[in-house]
Amino acid sequence: MRVVLGDNPFFGVNHRTGSKVLESAEKRFVAAADVIATANRIGVKTLMLSTHPGYEDLLDAARLKLPAGHSFEIAPVVPYPHTLNNAIAQDGYFGLVKKLGVGSLASVGLDVVQFMGFFGSKNGVKLKKAFQLIIRMELEKIRARGFVVKHACLHNIITDLLLALDRVDILQGFVAACESDGIKPVLITQNAACALSADIKGDFVACFTFNCLGYMVNPSLEKVVEAIRRPRRPGSELWAMQILASGAIGSERALLDENLDCFDAVLYATTKPARVEEFVGALEERGLARTALA
Amino acid sequence: MKKKVLVVGFGRMGLSHTVIVSGILGAANVEFYVCDPSFFSRKIAAGLVRGVQFVTLEQLRGDQALVASFDYILLTAPPFLRGEFLALLDGFRGRVFVEKPVFVRLGENQMSGYVNQHAPLNPVLKQRLSGEKVTRVKARLITNASFESIKSGWRSQSYGSVLHEFGGHVMSLVGAVLPDSAVFGKPVSDIFLKVDAHSRDLAKFSFVDGEVEYCIDLVANSSEVRKATYDVVIETNEDEIKYDLYSISSGRGRFATVSLPETGVGVSYYLRGFDFTRQMEAFLFGDMDVLKSAQIEAMESILVAVGGGK
């Protein structure tokens, strides 16, 4: 099982406390760069990174701390929903159109026109080109800064919106967009049982909250355990996030959970470089212990 | 049998609640109807919601049987349009969800959109406060959103301010956790309302209800936070209890801090937060609002008075 670095604390996202005053972006990103450099040194080579406004500054800070020729991977999370939400709140759906830009929309015109129902599509609407546009905008920025991209992650708000409306065809469009760019799709969800029972074709990663407390494990820990223990198609992966339940449990207790054996990777997020080393050490010990048990 | 849901106003909140309802009930178990004059909104609904059907306000006005056929109605049109629509629902037996602010006395089958009433830790705090004598409540909302910067759309008008977007959220949260069900029980003229500041991005006011002093601070356009955050401090004779929706702590160390993750909370379908799903569950098959309609009406009349209205 490998470790993927999470970015929540770099942007002040915390599911344990509601009101945390943010430090300046400069301070947060310098601290983040130290965490990323430490992670890279001990073999944690991937950061799942939400495309918050200004995330490029974090990459610029990290680039300064990484060795030349590094192969550190950024797995961008797209789109950033708060930007879209604010655009709609301010100017309605037309605000969203303005935000995306007329030039950008022109390139995905047929996709959007079909989505809006002007021309029917017998195979269902997929929005593949729209997803390609959204992904490529971020890929360009990330690759221009010398980072590798092997995965693109769909934000859980979008994944879960589409799952709730049974629009697997549109999720399939995201999978297809990633495939055509040679990267692996990651569907982030907070409704794991629903996502794992949906009929989504192709090789993809399902990434969701999993912890032994059941915090944010929806609809229930029992149902998600049942879902992750079902046989999987080759090529599909499971990544667990929030295994420490936002800090409510320690890594020692969290790693005792044998259900973690069902996962290919776990996300770990911290602002302290030493904690990355501690966590990776604990995970390695767990691996040795599990191997011995087997 | 499929449930029939009418969504009046398919903007941001109409979409959000539609998705949560679909997630809770299952897309195969619900039929959505949308009433919205906006071309873009109807196209977004058509693109996202399988089998969605559209109705016009004129159709609803002229066809009582059509209105009566719905199990649930989500009224998520802008605030100034809601009164007219609610007038059509005389005798409607299904449940009606009215997005906040409501500005009407809700009927027994009507529920407000004050989502913070449904925060999962509220009952824990309410239980903790049971038997305590509350003397003062200080509640603060701080958000990075700016209302001054909204120059178009209905939010650029009188309802687009931190007072109306968040004032009711803060006060309904306070009302939902206090054990005294008499909170917000008096007319504005009897609560010694004092307004210290009011603009689109700032509102500070206080009032006295019963033996409790309430101090409310609403601050928008702040770079200190990433999103809207709530801080409530409840002073009692014995303690100073802090609550931020995620944790409850004692200022005097009288009890161990309770954090949301430790409760292991999960919901039937998660989209924007536990509170949004719990709100829709309360609407679909639960007890609707935590506050009484009269309390919501009184609470909103305080906000209107702060804004300079009557």
Q: Could you list the residue range(s) of the whole structural domain that residue A17 is in? A: 2-80+128-293
- The answer to whether A35 and A271 have CB atoms below 8 angstroms apart is yes
Judged by CB atoms closer than 8 Å, whether chains meet at B262 and A248 is answered as: yes
Instruction: Measure CA B248 to chain center.
Output: 21
Which range, of A97-106, A237-246, B174-183, averages the lowest pLDDT?
A: A97-106
How many domains, chain A?
A: 1
Residues B29 and B38: beta-carbon distance below 8 Å: no
* Of the partner residues B47, B50, B271, the one whose CB lies closest to the CB of residue A166: B50
Rounded to whole angstroms, the Cα distance separating B256 from B191 reads 35
- Residue A112 covered by a domain: no
Rounded to 5 degrees, what are φ and ψ at B35? -120, 110
In whole angstroms, what is the distance from residue A198 CA to residue A165 CA? 12
The boundaries of every CATH 3.40.50.720 domain in chain B are 3-99
**Which CATH class, in words, describes the domain spanning B3-99?**
alpha beta
Residue A217 lies in a domain: yes
Q: Is residue A114 part of a domain?
A: no
In whole angstroms, what separates CA A86 from the centre of its chain? Answer: 21
Residue ranges of chain B with per-residue pLDDT less than 50 = none
The pLDDT value recorded for residue A89 is 61
The answer to whether B69 touches B4, Cβ cutoff 8 Å, is yes
For residue A164, which residues of chain B lie inside 8 Å, CB to CB? 19-20, 22-23, 27, 269, 271
Residue of B260, B263, B268 to mutate for A, most A C-beta atoms under 10 A: B260
Q: Do B261 and A92 touch (CB under 8 A)?
A: no
User: Which long-range contacts (C-beta less than 8 Å, at least 24 apart) are formed by B87-93?
Assistant: B88/B60, B88/B61, B91/B64, B92/B67, B92/B68, B93/B68
At the fourth CATH level, which superfamily is domain B116-275+289-306? Dihydrodipicolinate Reductase; domain 2 (3.30.360.10)
Interchain pair A190, B270: CB under 8 A: yes
CB pair distance less than 8 Å for A221 and B155: no
Q: Which residues of A touch B266 (CB under 8 A)?
A: 214-221
Listed in order, the ranges of chain B carrying CATH 3.30.360.10 are 116-275+289-306
Per 3-state DSSP, chain A is made up of helix, strand and coil in percentages (nearest 5) of 50, 15, 35
Residue B104 pLDDT: 85
What ipTM goes with this model? 0.93
Q: Is residue A96 part of a domain?
A: no
Residue A86 lies in a domain: no
Task: Provide the whole-model pTM.
Answer: 0.91
* Domain presence at residue A242: yes
List the single best residue of A80, A125, A161 to mutate versus B (max B Cβ within 10 A).
A161
Query: To which residue do tokens 């409760």 refer?
Result: B263
Partners of A20 on chain B (C-beta within 8 Å) are 225, 229
More confident residue, B149 or A10: A10
- Kindly state the average pLDDT of the residues A86-97: 61
> For the segment B259-308, what is each residue's pLDDT rounded down to a tens digit?
999 988 999 999 999 999 999 999 999 999 999 999 999 999 999 999 98
Q: List the CATH number of the domain containing A264.
A: 3.20.20.100
What is the arithmetic mean of pLDDT over A256-281? 95
